[in-house]
Amino acid sequence: MERRFGSTRLVLVQGDITRQAVDAVVNAANGSLLGGGGVDGAIHRAGGPAILQECRELVKRIGRLPPGQAVVTTAGRLPARHVIHTVGPVWRGGDRGEPALLASAYRESLARAEEAGCRTVAVPSISTGAYGYPVDLAAEVALGAVAGRLAAGSPLEEVRFVLFSTGDLAAYETALDLLEVAGGR
């Protein structure tokens, strides 16, 4: 599924984010930036030790990365140039600022990609694994934040949501359809 916001293509695909030949992949990291499970672990395993080394140096300089923020490292052995690490919120019922933090994680990731001169970015469904954010709610927040930023003008040519499962892809397709109806598209 593909739509255009401003001059940028927003694409939804099912696949493995570690195999995306793009300028940057977004990592759904934890605050330590030292790897973990899910997308985070897969990116660190596929990218190799160069990513972890750069993350360790970042943590020495800035400390733990708070939810909603993003930083850039090398992509190591990934078929991308950069990894943009962002921390999404842990789901605690939705009334503790989770939607705002999740939206910020996506917007900050795109901002870091633009600053790094990227044209193509692959992003996962942030916070919907171990952090427990319901995928249907996360999809609405994610697509709303990304579409809003792109519609305002961006040098990015493509933002590709890479969803691991068919269920996640279906949730994002539904959210994109709802976003277009709400936006009058």
Q: Which residue shows structure tokens 């909603």?
A: 68
Q: Are strands 120-123 and 158-163 parallel, antiparallel or unpaired?
A: parallel
Say whether 40 is catalytic: yes
Determine how many CB atoms are found less than 10 A away from the CB of residue 53: 13
Cα 30 to Cα 34: distance, rounded to the nearest angstrom: 8
Marked catalytic residue, from 16, 23, 40, 177 = 40
Pairing of strands 70-74, 82-87: antiparallel
Catalytic positions are 40
